[in-house]
């Protein structure tokens, strides 16, 4: 089974809470604060495993949570950090935030690791809040929450060369002839229902990876037929091997087929049409194949394409074609990563605003990751902790933002589950 899309829920570990504690020792009646810090929450890490080829594991497991950090202890003892959670994915996995569509990671190289969700910072123990005027702080800071996402994994096959062409053009036959891959081959449309990879090994130790992409039809860029469910696998290839049934076995016109496939590639992603292409004029062993070859070759060579007449069924001309492709690959650069190619920007946590302020009637609502952390770190039953909370809002600019929005004395401010009356 080939699974190239999956949705999972990931959450990094929460930081452990800081401890409220005071030093106790024989003959010392009232020692100072000695509450330890909470441990950091575990990260969620993605690791590219070249032994994986599909996302099928994510069909059965949907939730991935890293360990929380342990709370701090007395005597200045810090809590233990939570263990990281490593998730293995196949090469070519693109990771997106399901809610925003932003790219979180583009996993392409074996062994590559990315921290996809950062664990929360451990909270500070009360030892850190002692000052000359506050010598007995009775509050500590709670640990930060770990980052949490619902993400979509999308697998884009990584290969040096992508085989494209109409169904039954002979792509699967070529792959079976030049590699150890065993794709399903039969005389009906869409025999290939999943991308097949094969390694082509040549004399002298050179080799490259060839991918048989399922057959395309007109309208594929709009999702017709197998559509963009498989077009995505062409994006990462460095060179396209365009296989055309030059004999027109099904009554098709070879030149029209060639133009149709290129039009689909261009409409799906204009960059694809710019990728180098080598054309394999297949089925020249059939009567119409030989008759059509001359005109077909002349038309494409005038457009700058190199055409190789072959018979995949008899292996005629295939060896020469593979050696030519290997020669071209030595001169071609690596494929441009999708994140640069499409103009999409990989998400970083620093892009998120620390807080936002908006008004709904007479209620002013403050939201944001930083504000959520401050609320979670405040004990609203302790006056000193509330003072610390108020100073944090003022120093960060929340109060100024509320006043610019027109807040008046007596208006209600809501910060998640907390509501209070604004007083100048």
Query: pLDDT at position 118, please?
Result: 94
198 dihedral zone (left: phi>0; alpha: psi -120 to 50; beta): beta
Going across the sheet that includes 63-65, the strands are 63-65, 5-11, 148-155, 93-97, 103-107
What does the domain layout of the chain look like in residue ranges?
1-155, 161-335, 353-421
Q: Measure the CA–CA gap between 156 and 237, rounded to whole angstroms.
A: 10
Q: Give residue 234's pLDDT.
A: 74
pTM for this one? 0.64
- The residues with which 8 forms a beta bridge, in sequence order, are 151
Query: Quick one: CA dihedral 282, 283, 285, 288, positive or negative?
Result: negative
Nearest by Cα to 280 from 238, 315, 252, 249:
315
**Sign of the Cα pseudo-torsion (228, 229, 232, 234, in order):** negative
Regarding the domain delimited by 353-421, which CATH topology (the fold level of the hierarchy) does it fall under?
GMP Synthetase; Chain A, domain 3 (3.30.300)
pLDDT of residue 350: 43
Please state, in angstroms and rounded to a whole number, the distance separating the CA atoms of residues 43 and 114: 10
Return the beta strands (E) in 79-232 as ranges.
85-89, 93-97, 103-107, 113-117, 148-155, 161-164, 196-201, 207-212
Do the domains at 1-155 and 353-421 have one common CATH topology?
no
The CATH architecture to which 161-335 belongs is 3-Layer(aba) Sandwich (3.40)
CATH architecture of 1-155: Distorted Sandwich (2.70)
Distances (CA, A) of 247 to 186, 250, 389, 421: 17, 9, 78, 81
pLDDT value of position 231: 66
The predicted structure's pLDDT at residue 180: 64
Residues 71, 98: Cα–Cα separation, whole Å: 32
> Per-residue confidence of the chain (424 residues) as pLDDT tens digits?
345 789 999 999 999 999 989 888 776 666 789 999 999 999 999 999 988 877 888 988 999 999 999 999 999 999 999 999 999 998 888 899 988 888 888 888 889 999 999 999 999 998 988 887 778 888 888 888 899 999 999 887 777 898 888 877 888 888 888 876 554 433 444 434 456 777 788 887 778 888 887 655 444 444 444 434 556 667 778 899 999 999 988 788 999 999 988 888 888 777 777 889 999 999 999 988 788 899 999 999 999 999 999 998 899 999 999 999 999 998 888 765 544 444 343 444 444 567 899 998 889 999 987 888 788 777 777 777 788 888 888 888 999 999 999 998 888 999 988 888 888 7
């Amino acid at each position: 089974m080939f699974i190239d899309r999956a949705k999972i829920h990931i959450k990094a570990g929460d930081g452990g809470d800081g401890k409220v504690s005071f030093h106790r020792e024989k003959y010392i009646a009232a020692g100072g604060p000695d509450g330890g810090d909470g441990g950091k929450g575990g990260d969620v890490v993605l690791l590219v495993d070249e032994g994986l080829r599909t996302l099928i594991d994510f069909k059965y497991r949907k939730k991935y949570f890293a360990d929380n950090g342990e709370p701090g202890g007395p005597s200045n003892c810090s809590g233990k950090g939570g263990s990281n959670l490593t998730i293995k994915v196949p090469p070519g996995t693109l990771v997106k935030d399901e809610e925003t569509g932003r790219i979180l990671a583009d996993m392409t190289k074996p062994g590559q690791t990315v921290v996809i969700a950062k664990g929360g910072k451990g909270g500070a123990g009360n030892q850190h809040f002692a000052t000359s005027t506050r010598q007995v702080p009775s509050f500590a800071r709670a640990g930060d929450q770990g980052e949490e996402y619902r993400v979509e994994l999308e697998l884009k096959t990584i290969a040096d060369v992508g085989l494209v062409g109409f169904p039954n053009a002979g792509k699967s036959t070529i792959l079976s002839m030049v590699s150890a891959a065993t794709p399903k081959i039969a005389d009906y449309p869409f025999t290939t229902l999943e991308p097949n990879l094969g390694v082509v090994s040549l004399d002298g130790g050179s080799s490259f990876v060839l991918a048989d992409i399922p057959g395309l039809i007109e309208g594929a860029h709009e999702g017709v037929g197998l559509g963009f469910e498989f077009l995505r696998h062409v994006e990462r290839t460095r060179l396209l091997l365009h296989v055309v049934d030059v004999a027109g076995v099904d009554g098709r016109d070879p030149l029209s087929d060639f133009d149709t496939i290129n039009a689909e590639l261009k409409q799906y992603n204009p960059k694809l049409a710019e990728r180098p292409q080598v054309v394999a004029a297949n089925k020249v062993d059939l009567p119409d194949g030989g008759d059509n070859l001359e005109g077909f070759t002349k038309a494409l060579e005038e457009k700058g394409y190199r055409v190789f007449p072959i018979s995949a069924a008899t292996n005629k001309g295939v060896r020469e074609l593979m050696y030519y492709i290997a020669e071209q690959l030595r001169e071609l650069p690596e494929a441009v990563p999708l994140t640069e190619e499409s103009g999409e920007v990989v998400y970083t946590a620093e892009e998120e605003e620390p807080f936002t302020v908006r008004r709904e009637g007479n209620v002013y609502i403050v939201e944001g990751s930083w504000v959520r952390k401050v609320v979670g770190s405040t004990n609203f039953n302790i006056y000193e902790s509330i003072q610390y909370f108020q100073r944090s809002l003022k120093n960060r600019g929340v109060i100024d933002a509320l006043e610019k929005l027109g807040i008046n004395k007596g208006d209600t401010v809501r910060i998640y589950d907390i509501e209070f009356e604004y007083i100048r």
